[in-house]
Amino acid sequence: MCSHFCMLYYLENTKLIECRTCGHSRYKPMTGRGRTLVILRKLRYFLITLRLQRLFMSSKTIAHVTWHQSHDIVDEVMVHPSDSEGWKHFNNVHPQFSMKTKNVHLGLYINRFNPFGSFAAFYSCWSVIPTVYKLSTGMCLKPEFMFLSKVIPDPNSPNQNIDVYLRPLIDELKYLWSSRTLNYDVSRK
Ligand SMILES: [Zn+2]
Cα(38) to centroid of ligand 1, in Å? 17
Crossing angle of the two packed helices 162-179 and 49-57, in degrees rounded to 10: 40
Q: In what order do the strands lie in the sheet with 44-45?
A: 44-45, 150-152, 125-132, 106-113
How high is the mean pLDDT of the chain? 85
Over residues 82-94, the pLDDT tens digits come to 888 988 899 999 9
Q: Indicate the domain borders of the chain.
A: 1-42, 43-179
Given pLDDT bands bounded at 50, 70 and 90, which one contains residue 8?
Answer: very high
Q: Rounded CA gap, 151 and 122, in Å?
A: 16
Distance 161 CA to ligand 1 centre (A): 11
Q: 8: CA distance to ligand 1 center in Å?
A: 9
CA of 18 to the centre of ligand 1 (A): 8
For the stretch 95-121, pLDDT in tens is: 988 888 788 889 898 888 777 765 566
Per DSSP, the chain holds a count of helices (H) and strands (E) of 6, 4
- Which residues make beta-bridge pairs with 126? 112, 152
Identify whether the C-beta of residue 150 lies closer than 8 Å to the C-beta of residue 165: yes
Burial class of residue 173, CB neighbours in 10 A (0-12, 13-18, 19+): middle
Q: What's the rounded mean pLDDT across residues 164-182?
A: 88
Phi and psi at residue 165, to the nearest 5°: -65, -40
